[in-house]
Each structure stands twice: as structure tokens, then as C-alpha cells.
Homo-oligomer: A and B are copies of this chain.
Amino acid sequence: MPAAKKKSTTASASPERRRELLTIAADVFAAHGYNATTVRRIADEAGMLAGSLYYHFDSKESMLDEILSSFLTELWDGYDAVLAAGLGPRETIEALVTESFREIDRHRAAVAIYQKESKHLAAQPRFGYLTDSQQKFKTAWLGTLERGVADGAFRADLDIRLTYRFVRDTVWVAASWYRPGGQHSPEEIARQYLSMVLDGIAVRA
């Protein structure tokens, strides 16, 4: 998914150190935004000098790339498993939402970065995989919703594109306030979100 590594002189460096540094970078990117984050800041946080980061990575952008692409790889591992399971539309939605909250739990920083930056990054060829992913995402969710409308599981009186955006946003914005280790587990949050999305917050007449 990431742009092809050129010669990747740097790619051979010890993978554990890379992970550590990427985790740090992701946190800083998530907290202050990619553009506003200086490479010196990341290095500070890692206890090294700015230049030293370039032993491990080609560029600031390649850190971002690796953060986002490895997140998306994992996300799609989960999604693809759900989609291949042959569930009904409602159960599929439930599983996708649950899986999403699990990803938010595991990759909070990456998700937050994705939320803030993917729109303008998608324009760059290097981040073309973001657009691809978005497309797959849309196909999967919209398709499931349509199946649900067709077989009577979901309401037919709603604009399905609005519904799609509603469900999609509803889930992912959670990354902006979610803190791992909070009082609710991802599964519990997913359960409540699903309850709201599927049945509404109003008491039934």
C-alpha cells in the first residue's frame, strides 16, 4: 500500500526502534497536526537529535506514510474478515462498527491523523492508497446498507448516501475524543453506538 520504497537504505534498520519512533511520531502528529509538527519535536520526544531520525526514515513524510499505511493494512485485515464471513446486513454493520472501535482503540493516533489529514493527502500520488481505501470503504458500507434496505432490515425512507455518511462519521469521529484505557471498552462503546444508530435515542412511542 505505501509508495514503493526506493532503495530503502534506511528500511533495514532495526524494526523495534522504528516501531518506537513511529509510535512517538504518531502521537505528536495526532496531538498537533502533521504540518505543525516539527521533526525536531519528534526527535526531542524520542531523546535524540533531529538529524538522527533520518538514519531510520527517509523523511518526515515517509513516517506519516508508514503510520497511515500500516494502520490501513491492519484495518482491512479486520474488515475483510468481517466481509468474508457471510453475515446478514445488520450483523455485518454491527461487526464492522465493533471492528472499527477496536482499531480506534489500538491505533488512536493513526486514526486521528487519518481524520485530519487524509483529505488533502489523498491528492498526492504517494498517498493514493488513501483514496483507494476510501473507495473500498464506501463500497463495503454502502453495499451493506443497500442490502439491508433491500431485505427490510434498514429503513427505506432515508437518503442512503446520507445514511452512509452518518454511520461512517459517527464511528470515526470518536477517535477525536477517545482515550484508550477509559471507562468503556471499545466493545462497550461499539454496543452503545450501534444501539443509538440502529434504534435511535428517542424512546419509542
A residues with a Cβ closer than 8 A to B are 31-33, 35-36, 90, 116, 119-120, 152-155, 157-159, 162-163, 165-167, 169-170, 173-174, 176-177, 184, 189, 192-193, 195-204
Contacts and interface: CB of A to CB of B under 8 A. Distances in A.
15 contacts: A32-B120, A116-B116, A119-B176, A153-B203, A158-B196, A159-B184, A162-B192, A163-B201, A166-B170, A166-B201, A167-B201, A169-B169, A173-B173, A197-B201, A200-B200
Contact of A199 (B36, B163, B192, B202): B202
B35 A159 contact: no
Contact of A173 (B169, B177, B195, B197): B169
Contacts of A90: 202
- Which of A36, A90, A196, A198 has the most chain B CB atoms closer than 10 A to its own CB? A196
Contacts of A193: 162, 166
A190 to B, nearest CB: 11
A199 B196 contact: no
Contacts of A200: 196-200
A198 B201 CA distance: 5
Given A36-B120, A169-B169, 18 more contacts: A31-B120, A116-B116, A152-B203, A153-B202, A154-B201, A154-B202, A154-B203, A155-B202, A162-B193, A163-B196, A166-B196, A197-B201, A198-B202, A199-B199, A199-B200, A199-B202, A199-B204, A200-B200
